[in-house]
Chain A
Amino acid sequence: MSTEIYQKILRNPRYAELVGRRRRLAWLLAGSTLGTFFSFILVVAFKPSLLATTISSTNVTTIAIPLSVAMIVFFWVLTGIYVRRASRDFDGLSDQIVREARQ
């Protein structure tokens, strides 16, 4: 029964569309997250002095601090984008594909 359903799903062209679009989004967002973070970590590891630059000549606050806060906000916004896109674009499509396969 379930084998039959899965083969029907697999034959549905919209399944390939769903998977393709969702994976592209997921890997794009995961890549942005990890890319941003590990670039930052590589600077911390190999050239920390770059991040010791102050935000202006009169301040003691270094650029490391606003950059870190911005990263935290950025990562959270990315999770928000994924959740929004997933419920707007993917859930309906996914339900429809399963419904069609069960008929």
Chain B
Amino acid sequence: MRKLRAISMTSLGLLAWTGLAAAATGNEGQTANVPAIAMFILFVAITLGITYWAAKRTKTASDYYAAGGGITGTQNGFAIAGDLLSAATLLGISSLIFAKGYDGFLYCLCLIVAFPVILFVMAERLRNLGRYTFADVTSFRLAQRPVRTTAAICSLTVVICYLIAQMVGAGQVIKLLFGIEYWIAVVVVGVLMVIYVTFGGMLATTWVQIVKAVLLIAGGTLMAMLAFAKFGFSFETMASQAAAVRKGVNILAPGVMFADPVSAVSLALGMVFGTAGLPHILMRFFTVPNAVESRKSAFVATGLMGFFFLMIGLIGLSAVVLVGTDPQYFEGGTVGGKLIGGGNMPAMHLAHAVGGNLLLGFMAAVAFATILAVVAGLALAGASAISHDIYANAIKRGTATEADEVRVSKISSLGLGVLAVILGILFEKHNLAFLSGLTLGIAASANFPVLILSMYWKGLTTRGAVLGALVGLISALALVICSKAVWVTVLGNPTALFPYEQPALFSMPLAFFVAWLASVLDHSPAAAAERAAFEEQDVLAETGFYKSSAASA
């Protein structure tokens, strides 16, 4: 017992202990998957090793927030792809394709379109104008306090919504795959997330993400190819068999899933521009040394995601045949009934169908690893918003020492970890389908318009930036609350006040309009100075001359 306690002092031991203890008792009739647990513990050991290595190299604020700007473009490309390829992508999109066919694949298209746009109009400018958070860019020539505070509020809202969705998903997936209790799974994710972020900062968070991205892409490709081989690598054979399984709906064509055209367009807008406004993605462009590497990271990320999404398409469609006709994957053996483990499980069942328990174990461990890596990135983005934007620049007005700033960031990441665990446990039984739309809707409406205007429009003033972001945030929030997913499903009202499912089509143009209107109506001397300062900002954005002068000086 003493020995056991000594082992459990380290988080790895603690994790192994809780995992195995829960597995041994086999709670709630779930069976533990031994290869999954072994591979997961191996992953955790590697990532803790990375964190230890990174902690020794993380000394300054720049190390902590941006890995000292020492990540290469290729590495950053993997990390960005890793951030977007969450467990929701692997499990959620493949299950959408399994259930609805082609429409599920549209999500992949929406996610990938964001990256060329980020590359062409944002990546180099972000790198040249910002240091740690995207608010560095929006507040570059505007009043620091109001603009940073607003940006931090919007970032934190996005981060917390995203974290809740990840935590609840994590708890449910881990409970199923590993046979450990929901709350233990959520606590384990929270503890590891805080360890990575607090001790290893951006360097550890980036490398955890890279390791996971490699594992996820390799595992996904292996699974897709094993499944595709069952159809002799013929898409037509697979498609015709899948179509035969799903009689009545054409799963190979769009139009099954979207209730109305407006919601479809709104969803696409929100996903594309929301992705381009996600604080943890934008933050990655500060971890590379210069604009050249920043471009390369967007190129690599686009290629990796495009490739992985094709694999997801194969996984989803082949699962229709390989999982959807096999009674062992359905409750009570009724083909076409409820899938064992729920609607998100087709990819996991497919892993079992094509690679047995070993591949299932591997993919389960990868899914867990994915959740860990994504929540760590989110926590770091949230903690940076608190420490860099609110504490160091809004409260201390730039007079805080680096050590204090990093300390506040570490405390914030601990706070976010505790909050995420509590909210994750509170929301276990809730229907959180609205969260993904809300998160991307807010990012598209509150972050993206102000960011793009601050980089390209001379006329943007502090008043415009603050009001535009706040109106974007509030309108996206209000529209989601009034939509069916919250007003009817969560709050139990008979009919929705807002007839569409996604807010972005309305809230994003509104945010642009308000930012424009408030700016042009602002005749204060401060606003005039802000407009005059655009020219210098623009030259810096185009050439990065501060940084190139620092490099050669």
Contacts and interface: CB of A to CB of B under 8 A. Distances in A.
Given A9-B539, A34-B117, A75-B113, A42 B265 contact: yes
Contacts of B302: 75-76, 79
Contacts of B261: 45-46
Interface stretch (B251-259, B320-328, B342-350, B509-517): B251-259
Given A42-B265, A64-B254, A30 B299 contact: no
Q: Which 10 A-B pairs have the closest CB atoms?
A: A48-B255, A52-B253, A45-B261, A45-B264, A30-B120, A72-B306, A26-B120, A44-B254, A6-B539, A41-B268
Interface in B504-553: 535-536, 539-540, 542-546, 548-549, 552
B234 to A, nearest CB: 10
Contact of A60 (B119, B239, B298, B540): B239
B543 A82 contact: no
A59 B235 CA distance: 10
A86 B295 contact: yes
A55 B549 CA distance: 56
B253 A64 contact: yes
A75 B112 contact: yes
Interface residues of A, number: 55
B119 A82 contact: yes
Contact of A44 (B262, B264, B543): B264
B31 interface: no
A26 B222 CA distance: 36
Contact of A69 (B124, B264, B310, B545): B310
A5 B306 CA distance: 41
A51 B116 contact: no
A3 interface: yes
Interface stretch (B101-109, B183-191, B278-286, B428-436): B101-109
B265 A41 contact: yes
Contacts of B243: 60
Given A6-B536, A44-B254, A102-B549, A61 B235 contact: yes
Given A6-B536, A98-B545, A83 B296 contact: yes
Which of B117, B124, B254 has the most chain A CB atoms closer than 10 A to its own CB? B254
A42 B272 CA distance: 14
